[in-house]
Structure 1
Amino acid sequence: MEMAYNKKTKVKKGWLVVAVGLDGDEAPNGDGFRRFPIPISYLHHPLFQRLLESARETYGYKTAGPLRLPCSVEDFLHLRWVIDREQRAGGSHSTLSLHAC
């Protein structure tokens, strides 16, 4: 079950909120992006680093608000599942390729 996170929701220590979406996507907050909390540990994962590089290429370094990730929500949820599974298993990193990320 996904929890809705908005600007007023407090994020627990060690986590951050990212905004996920593609141009033209619909989202409950009206800006085309859905917000998701993620653990800071994701920032070190190679798959997530590729997504961060894509965000840098798309949006640059300066943004107002949460970090925006140019990725479909479906692909982001799959990426999050892969990273969580790997972290639980303590295994090696995947070479997953996401369509819209």
Structure 2
Amino acid sequence: MGRYIALPSMDFDRRSSKQSKAVPKGCLAVKVGLEEEGQRRFVIPITYLSDPRFRRLLEEAQEVYGFRTPGPLRIPCSVDDFLHLKWLMEREHSHSC
């Protein structure tokens, strides 16, 4: 049977100017970046959550940030690495948000 990954709590104040950017249905906002480079917000299709490569990033996020973090899901990898992975997934799945 497959392993389940607990996602961090995504409860946040939608009135906040930083987080009020609309996220289309079927998509999710994530923050990506290492501490030394800062973080950047991306909107990705929720179907990426089932991709094995993205699931590894989720496991890493769980190890680094724990189960409950405030705000959007944070991914601990470089923006460049995430952009490459996103490009690969978009090429294979033809999804966009």
TM-score bucket of the superposed structures, by smaller chain: 0.7 to 0.9
The DSSP-based 3-state class of the residue aligned with 1:85 is helix
Distance 2:39 2:69 in 1: 14
Of the three residues 43, 46, 52, the one matched with 2:52 is 46
Distance 1:84 1:24 in 2: 27
Cα drift, residue 79 of structure 1: 0.3
TM-score after normalising by structure 1: 0.73
The DSSP-based 3-state class of the residue aligned with 1:8 is coil
Give 1:17's aligned residue.
29
The DSSP-based 3-state class of the residue aligned with 1:17 is strand
1:77-88 equivalences under 5 Å are: 77-88=83-94
| Structure 2: runs of 5+ lacking an equivalent | 1-17
TM-score after normalising by structure 2: 0.76
Cα drift, residue 47 of structure 1: 0.3
Cα drift, residue 8 of structure 1: 1.9
Runs of 4+ in 1 over 6 A off after TM superposition: none
Distance 2:93 2:36 in 1: 32
Distance 2:36 2:52 in 1: 27
Cα drift, residue 55 of structure 1: 0.4
The DSSP-based 3-state class of the residue aligned with 2:87 is helix
Greater relative contact order (Cα < 8 A, sep 6+): 2
Distance 2:51 2:82 in 1: 14
Give 2:3's aligned residue.
none
Provide the identity percentage.
Answer: 57
